[in-house]
A and B are shown apart, each in its own frame.
Chain A
Amino acid sequence: MPVKVEQSGLIIKKEESLLNRKTLFKCCLTVGILSSTIFVGSHIQATSNEQKQNVVKTEQQVKGAVTKLENVTREDLAPIPMEKVDKSKVKITNFESKKVNHIVGKPVVNAEKRPGGYAITAYYPTDIGKGELVVFQSVNEYGDVDLLVEEAKTWYPVEKGGYNEISIDGLQAIVHENEINYNTLHIFTENEIFTLAGQNTEYLLEVAQTLVKDIK
């Protein structure tokens, strides 16, 4: 009997040992799989973020290489009083006096510094929806239309709705339309960039026709 007990005890011990080994093996396997999954998953996410960052970097490199953004300080873009702006160079504040459709009042106008000039923004009240028409004029710091157009194209990647390249009375322009129909139209000249923003692209094109007459 004692032998049996011993044998039985041995058998039990063996089974326990086997069970423990199996459990430990399973543990190792689970930990191994978990660690691989976490590592691979994180790596995929990191790679995806890296790719995303690379896209951003590429855009920034293209932009940064030409615009020399690194040289722009807060003072270069500071607001300035309109009184200090040479009005003869401002081409965006007289739409109301020209009886442009849908403009129902005088614009609110403000100015900021830019390297080599000023950036002027005019907010026109309109009777289109509840929106206002934003008209903006700034310096083409490249002094070259094609370079600025190429940069402007990077502002509207396909995932943000892309852009359409058009010509308005011989001037290069691009139009960007978004999901909520709050659209942007840029017109480029050698010395300036003009931006119109508001609802309804047809209306922006109509205003652009008037603006181009002033530009030329």
Chain B
Amino acid sequence: MRMKILKFTKILLLLTVIMSSFSLSTVKASAAYNIQDLGTWAPVGYNYTTSGGFVKAAQANLWSAGEKLVVGSIDGSFGPATYQAVKNFQSKNGLSVDGNIGPGTWGLMEDYTIILDSRSRKFVHPNSPTYFTRFAQYAVGGGTVDNHWDLGYKSSGDYAGQGGTIWTDY
């Protein structure tokens, strides 16, 4: 009898693990980012995403918000310099200062992101006379859409030679 209960418990535990991983993978697959709303983008910071496209887009926005010298290069790696730049941005824009770009900070960036037409948006912040960040969706073939960022010069409209994929929709 005891053995049966033990066996039953083991099976139940195994089922729990399987169901949990299944549920978690379902949540991951359901995550939706919207190019038209920065508030839906992945949180960036030491407690969240610390590398990749969202970090680069965040760094580009910080350049376009006048924090270029603090951020340094747009390398997609969240380190002390980007952390400090985020804190500066939060402080200058009346947000609570924690160094993470969560929905609140993305949301404020969203407030400075103008929808220009069906295809593109621009993050334009008065604290940078030099840069803007453009967000756009491009087809890359096979029904795949590249959600893209580009850093541009306000003075010429040319891209500053920096841009990349934030995420890809299939």
Contact = CB atoms under 8 A, between A and B. Distances in A.
B156 A69 contact: no
Given A31-B13, A39-B20, A42-B27, A197 B117 contact: no
B157 A110 contact: yes
Given A21-B2, A42-B20, A56-B34, A67 B26 contact: no
B2 A20 contact: yes
11 contacts: A24-B2, A38-B16, A43-B26, A49-B31, A49-B32, A53-B32, A56-B34, A63-B118, A74-B148, A79-B157, A110-B156
A16 to B, nearest CB: 11
A116 B2 CA distance: 77
A155 B115 contact: yes
Interface residues of B, number: 55
Contacts of B110: 160
Interface of B: 1-2, 5-6, 8-9, 12-13, 15-16, 19-20, 23-24, 26-27, 30-32, 34, 36-37, 40, 108, 110-112, 114-120, 122, 124, 126-127, 136-140, 143, 145-146, 148, 152-159
Nearest to B5: A24
A214 B154 CA distance: 24
Interface size class of A (residues with CB under 8 A): 35 or more
B168 to A, nearest CB: 13
Interface stretch (A91-99, A129-137, A165-173, A205-213): A129-137
Contact of B120 (A50, A109, A119): A119
Contacts of B20: 35, 38-39, 42
Interface in A131-154: 131-132, 134, 136, 138-139, 141, 148, 151-152
A184 B27 CA distance: 35
Contacts of B159: 79
A178 interface: yes
Interface in A98-141: 108-112, 114, 119, 121, 123, 129-132, 134, 136, 138-139, 141
